[in-house]
Amino acid sequence: MTEPLRLPLAHGYDVDDAKELLRKEIREHRRSRNEAELRELSAGFTQHVLDAVGDARRVAFYVSTPGEPPTQDALTQLSARGVHILLPVLGPGLARNWGVFKGLDDLSERAPGRPPEPSGESYSAEVLNEVDLVITPGMAVDGFGTRLGKGGGWYDRALASLREETMVFTMLFDDELVATQRLPLNDYDQPIDAVITPTRLFLIEGSPFQKEALANLAEATG
C-alpha cells in the first residue's frame, strides 16, 4: 500500500509557484500507486459516483488518465442506467468543448497528453447549463472548497458558466483532502461543493473535514 501523501506548506510562494509545488508532489505520489492498488480502489470510487449521481439524468464527467482516480467503470455503469454523460473534448481551433459519451470503445486519444475523447459533434461550455451535476478531476481539495487542478484552467472557466444550483463534485484520493493548510487560490478559481474518494462521499459545507480545516486555520493564525 502506498504511503500517505505529505504535502509541503505552500506559504511564502506566489500563487502559481505554490500551485506548481503542490502539483509536483501530488504527481510523484500518484505515480507510486501500482495498478493493483488502483483496481482495489476502483470499486469504492465507482459506488460513490453512482451514489452522487443518484437520479440525475444529465451529468458532466471525465475520462481518467493513468494514475488518476479511475472513472471507466463508473462511466459504463452510468451509461447503462441511461444517464446522458458529457465529456471534455478539444473543439475547433483547440476550443475546450464537450462531447457525448457513447461507450468506452468509442473513445480515442486525439491529442498527445489529452484524455481519450468521444467521437461526434462537440458543444461549447454553454451546454453545461443543461446538466444536473458536474464531476471534475482534481489533485487536491481543501476544507473551503478550493480545488487544485492540473493547471490549464479549463474547469474553472467551464464551472463559471454553471447554473447556481448545479452541484460540483471532485474525485480524488483520500490523502489529497487537505485540512492542514489553505490551498493557493487565484481570482478565477471556482469552488466545488463535494468530494468523492474511495471511502467517502460528502458535502464540504459543515463537514468534519471543514471543521478540522477551520480549527487548523484558527490555530495557525491565533
Interval 35-61 mean pLDDT: 96
Lookup: cell for 167: 452541484
pLDDT tens, residue by residue, 156-203: 888 888 999 999 999 999 999 999 999 999 988 999 999 999 999 999
> What is the rounded distance in angstroms from the CA atom of residue 183 to the CA atom of residue 7?
11
Contacts of 137 (CB under 8 A, 6+ apart): 62, 64, 68, 69, 149, 150, 155, 170, 171, 172
Instruction: Evaluate whether 97 touches 90 at the Cβ level (below 8 Å).
Output: yes
pLDDT at position 94: 61
Average pLDDT over residues 62-80: 96
The total number of residues written for the chain in this structure: 222
What's the pLDDT at 42? 96
Instruction: Please give the Cα distance from 193 to 142 (Å, whole number).
Output: 11
Q: Which domains, and CATH codes, for the chain?
A: 15-221 (3.40.50.10420)
Pairing of strands 122-123, 133-137: unpaired
Task: Judge whether 90 and 114 are in contact, CB under 8 Å.
Answer: yes
pLDDT value, residue 154? 82
pLDDT at 205 over 90: yes
pTM of this prediction?
0.94
Q: How far apart are the first and last CA of the chain?
A: 37
Distances in whole angstroms, Cα of residue 122 to Cα of each of 86, 92, 95: 10, 9, 10
The enclosing H or E element of 213 equals helix 208-221
For 160, residues 6+ apart whose C-beta sits below 8 A from its C-beta are 188, 190
Judged on CB neighbours under 10 Å (0-12, 13-18, 19+), 153 is middle
What pLDDT, in 10s, does the model give residues 5-44? 988 888 878 999 999 999 999 999 999 999 899 999 999 9
pLDDT in tens, 73-128: 999 999 999 999 999 997 666 678 999 999 999 999 887 778 899 999 989 889 99
pLDDT for 111: 73
Which amino acid appears at position 62 of this protein? Y
